[in-house]
Structure 1
Amino acid sequence: MSTLKKSPTFLLQKSPSMEIPIRKPLSIEFPTSPQPTMGEEILHFSHPHPLPLFTLSDRFTCAGCKEDGAGKRFSCQQCDFQLHEFCASSPPALNGHPLHAQHQLVFYSKPKPGGMLRPRCDICGKPASGFAFRCGACTFQMHPCCAMLSTEMSFSIHRHLLKLLPTMTGSSNDPGFACGECKRKRSGRVYRCTVCDYHLHAVCAKDMINGLQANGIKGQEKSSMLGVATRLASNAVKGFLAKLIEGIGEGVGESVAGAIAQDITRGQGNSKRRM
């Protein structure tokens, strides 16, 4: 990593206004003051060391939201701590956010308890494992990256305006169409083109926000590897249980056969005594 000349450290302050414009495609910005420039540092509450701002093309995992990113990040020079720029700039609360305008959303640095069953983001459908905005009036929550999305978005991968579809309901939750980016069907909110039949998962749209797409990194690679590992582990467990059940079945069968044989032997002995 190249070393940039450090400018005087300043403390990132939050401005009083927490309002976000409802219709501002691909340009939602968190209200923070002052805005850091390249090479400058911030002191963030989540980390004891100064965090300079860098732009690097490699993939990294944000220590705040626990999700991947590339490009701009605040990166500690004394350890491996890194934050998305938007995670570092998250305000204490959001009012009138276009994805949940009816209630205030409060910033939380710790996830809800639940382990592997931890609640998921209501926008992208992925687990909320770190920084998140949560609603106090209902169960809605979303990642800071998802908070950068809006109800209408314009992306370089498609020439038309995309609108966010309403939340799907129903037992199957099958959208009936594949995403134009990942070519898959999956959970989470979906954008649909206002002109043609193009669809885009919100989780895929996040790659246009977190720097992965701009740096030529496929955002689904890590998930796919995890999915393969999960399937392999699942198959191994299923195989083990099948052998265990088979062994138990054989043992039970032998026990039953032995008991029947003993009963027959006892019955024959009793018959001889009666004769």
Structure 2
Amino acid sequence: MEFKHFSHNHGLVFHQMPQSAQIQCSGCHCLGTGPVYTCWRCSFFLHDQCFRANRSLKHPSHPLHPLTLTPYPTYPSNSFYCNSCTLIGSGFSYSCSECDFDLHVHCAYSPIPNQPIPCSHPNPNPIPNFSPPTVHSPAPAEPESEPPVGFPTGKDRETTHFSHPHRLKLTEVQEKDGKKCSGCEYIVTGPVYTCVEPDCGVDFHLHKKCFELPREVRHKSHLDHALTLLPSPPYQDGFACNACLEKGSAFVYHCTTCSFDLHVECVRWPEKVQRDDHEHALSLFYAPPVPKKDGEEPAAEDEEEKVTFVCDVCHHGVHEMAWTYYCHECDFGTHLDCVVSKVQPPVDKPVDDDAAAAAAIQEAQMKLALLQLLVNGGGPIEFKFS
């Protein structure tokens, strides 16, 4: 008797694997033995759990939307970050495309909140016996290896931070003061942690959000290793961010093995951005996508001529190593910063001075709004242009 599964084109047959034999499940990519569904022609195997996993699931760790079972990751990296166990996955996942929230199949069916069953278990938690808990603590959006040290409970409390030798106090700072955050290097405003040592010698200030940054993160742009938050670059002349390619001299998320570096604000770029002047959401790509025209043969590796990806907002080229926002349907893409800006007229056309001034003011306002969002945290971004 053959069984159908949405993830495979051929029929599957039920097979009891010998106790000494192990296979890798084509769904969750975990090792296992015992009952499996298989396509011998393709060497395709599914655990009993993966075969019977629900196509849609309401999970207590993500109550906003149902999660959909996807047969492979939908991200450009061809992998996903599990919001429960914080490990990278490459097979089946329960996914929310609106929130970029993902769970391994075995993590989704774990009976204990935030305690995923190990992947190596041959048949972790068979689905018919699964009863999800009624109370579940939401999984964190970012992994945090250790909380900020001495986090204060009130405004007047002093505290410490690993990046500075002196005690800090939470104060209110006005934008007109022109003080810069020692973490992200942007102008600080609102609640800010400030050094209380009068003889410090360093004008040290930290946005509240920068104070609360996790000491270690895993990012989809660099799946091989975790990124560690450093208070200063490990190089003599600062660092070049692998996202925006701009220089930095303060906090940096760094991979020692690969010399990979990200600004703390670049770590927070959302996976999707919706512009009100574009029909589709723009997706974040970790290298400029260069679409191949219909009928066009791929270029030879030794071909000298290279295709340059041009930003559809500012009309300037995007570096081949820079991150970008892009819509495949319309072949529309932007620099990271330009995703918040209004489309500019081509440079070879005359521009009305008043209109150009108004556009510049609006662009500055939008960039300020983005900065505030990145500093204060937030979900998917939507921008409107008048």
TM-score, normalised via structure 2 length: 0.39
Sort the Cα spacing of 1:215 and 1:123 in 2 relative to 1 into closer, same or farther, 3 A.
Answer: closer
Structure 2 residue aligned with 1:189: 323
The letter for the 1-side match of 2:168 is: P
Q: CA deviation at 1:57?
A: 5.0
Q: CA deviation at 1:20?
A: 8.9
Structure 2 residue aligned with 1:123: 243
Structure 1 residue aligned with 2:25: none
Give the alignment of 1:95-174 within 5 angstroms. 95=218, 97-115=219-237, 118-150=238-270, 152-155=271-274, 160-167=280-287
Q: Equivalent residue of 1:196, what SS?
A: coil
* Separation (CA, whole Å) in 2 of partners of 1:18 and 1:51: 34
Sort the Cα spacing of 1:166 and 1:93 in 2 relative to 1 into closer, same or farther, 3 A.
Answer: closer
Contact 2:340/2:370, CA 8 A, preserved across alignment: no
- Name the % identity: 23
Contact 2:248/2:263, CA 8 A, preserved across alignment: yes
Give the alignment of 1:77-96 within 5 angstroms. 78=196, 80-95=203-218
Determine which of 310, 314, 327 is the counterpart of 1:177: 310
Contact 1:73/1:85, CA 8 A, preserved across alignment: yes
* Separation (CA, whole Å) in 1 of partners of 2:310 and 2:191: 34
Structure 2 alignment gaps of length 5 or more: 1-83, 90-96, 102-139, 290-300, 342-362, 373-386
* Separation (CA, whole Å) in 2 of partners of 1:21 and 1:56: 41
* Separation (CA, whole Å) in 2 of partners of 1:147 and 1:111: 16
Determine which of 160, 164, 179 is the counterpart of 1:43: 160
Structure 1 alignment gaps of length 5 or more: 1-16, 218-275
* Separation (CA, whole Å) in 1 of partners of 2:173 and 2:323: 29
Kindly name which structure, 1 or 2, has the bigger radius of gyration based on alpha carbons: 1
Q: Equivalent residue of 1:164, what SS?
A: strand
Contact 1:179/1:185, CA 8 A, preserved across alignment: no
Q: CA deviation at 1:186?
A: 4.7
Contact 2:193/2:211, CA 8 A, preserved across alignment: no
* Separation (CA, whole Å) in 1 of partners of 2:183 and 2:143: 16
* Separation (CA, whole Å) in 2 of partners of 1:86 and 1:18: 24
The letter for the 2-side match of 1:139 is: S
Structure 1 or 2: larger strand share? Answer: 2
Q: Equivalent residue of 1:144, what SS?
A: coil
Contact 1:177/1:185, CA 8 A, preserved across alignment: yes
How many residues of Structure 1 are paired with residues of Structure 2 in the alignment? 193
The letter for the 2-side match of 1:74 is: V
* Separation (CA, whole Å) in 2 of partners of 1:123 and 1:186: 12
Q: CA deviation at 1:49?
A: 3.4
Sort the Cα spacing of 1:157 and 1:137 in 2 relative to 1 into closer, same or farther, 3 A.
Answer: farther
Q: Equivalent residue of 2:253, what SS?
A: strand
* Separation (CA, whole Å) in 2 of partners of 1:71 and 1:21: 36
The letter for the 1-side match of 2:268 is: M
Give the alignment of 1:185-264 within 5 angstroms. 185-187=317-319, 188-204=322-338, 212-214=367-369
* Separation (CA, whole Å) in 1 of partners of 2:233 and 2:308: 28
Q: CA deviation at 1:122?
A: 0.5
Q: CA deviation at 1:168?
A: 5.1
Contact 1:30/1:86, CA 8 A, preserved across alignment: no
- The 4+ residue runs of structure 1 with deviation greater than 6 A are 20-23, 34-38, 169-174
The letter for the 2-side match of 1:45 is: F
Contact 1:20/1:29, CA 8 A, preserved across alignment: no
* Separation (CA, whole Å) in 2 of partners of 1:203 and 1:132: 19
Q: CA deviation at 1:68?
A: 1.9
Higher RCO (CA < 8 A, seq sep 6+): 1
The letter for the 2-side match of 1:148 is: R
CA RMSD after TM alignment:
4.6
* Separation (CA, whole Å) in 1 of partners of 2:231 and 2:261: 12
* Separation (CA, whole Å) in 1 of partners of 2:305 and 2:155: 49
TM-score, normalised via structure 1 length: 0.52
Sort the Cα spacing of 1:73 and 1:184 in 2 relative to 1 into closer, same or farther, 3 A.
Answer: farther
